[in-house]
Structures are given as C-alpha cells and as structure tokens.
Amino acid sequence: MKKTIFLLFTALFSTILLWAQPSKGKYIEVLYFKANLACCKAKACNAIEADIQSFVAKNFPKGNVTFTEIKLIEESNKAIIEKYDAQSQTVILVKHNKKKDVSINVSDLVKKYMQDKNKEDLEKTFVLKINEFLK
C-alpha cells in the first residue's frame, strides 16, 4: 500500500514539474540587459526592468515566456552582450525552437516609453510583440 501511494505521489509530482516547465518546442526568453549605473539612472533602469518582468509574469503565466536579466558588468555575459550588441536597457526577444533560435530587438519600445511614460501602452505593445513572435 505504501509503495503504491509513493508511486502515485511520484507520478503526480513529476507530471506537475513537467507541466510547469516551458515547452521544449517553442518558447520565448525576454533578455533585459542592465548596466551598473549611477543612482538616478539606476532607478529608471530598475523600474523598467520591474515593469517588463511584471508584464511577462502577468500575461504569460504558463511559462512559455521567461524573463532573464543580463548584467553588462559581468565578464561571463560578454559573449551574449556581443552577440546582441547590447547596451543598458536593451530588450531582446529570443524564440527558442527545436531547430534554431530566432531573436528580435524590441528596445525601441523601451525608448518610446522613456519619452511618453505611458505604461499601459508599453504593456499592450510589448505583449502584442511577444504574441506575434510566438506564432
């Protein structure tokens, strides 16, 4: 009896873990490149990062879209920084497929947001870009 319960629990737990992980077929990773800036710019950079991270969590709860912060100052990130020619507040969407990865730079959305401060418009446009890219 104990063995049966253990096996059922293990099977259920494994199923939950597999369901919670991003699809191995197609998913998007949002890369946010962040510099080590002086305090006033750091506040703006942190706020944008928090907004983008919350958009991902709110609009894509299934895990098919993930958020990753890339610190420009870390030597271990040098290759990815060069690959995307990234600077502070660069935002790259990377669609991971079975065969190859495809990416687009959506940093223009962040630049527009810095000018107009319209958070709702940023979220709407950002989510639309991701949904189009997921297809």
pLDDT in tens, 56-104: 999 999 999 999 999 999 999 999 999 999 998 899 999 998 888 999 9
Bridge partner residues of 92 (DSSP): 31, 105
pLDDT in tens, 24-66: 558 999 999 998 766 656 677 888 999 999 999 999 999 999 9
> Regarding the domain delimited by 24-134, which CATH topology (the fold level of the hierarchy) does it fall under?
Glutaredoxin (3.40.30)
Global pTM reads 0.77
Q: Rounded distance, CA 98 to CA 74, Å?
A: 29
Q: What confidence score (pLDDT) does residue 1 get?
A: 56
Which H or E element spans position 92? Answer: strand 91-96
Cβ neighbours for 18, distance < 8 A, ≥ 6 positions apart: none
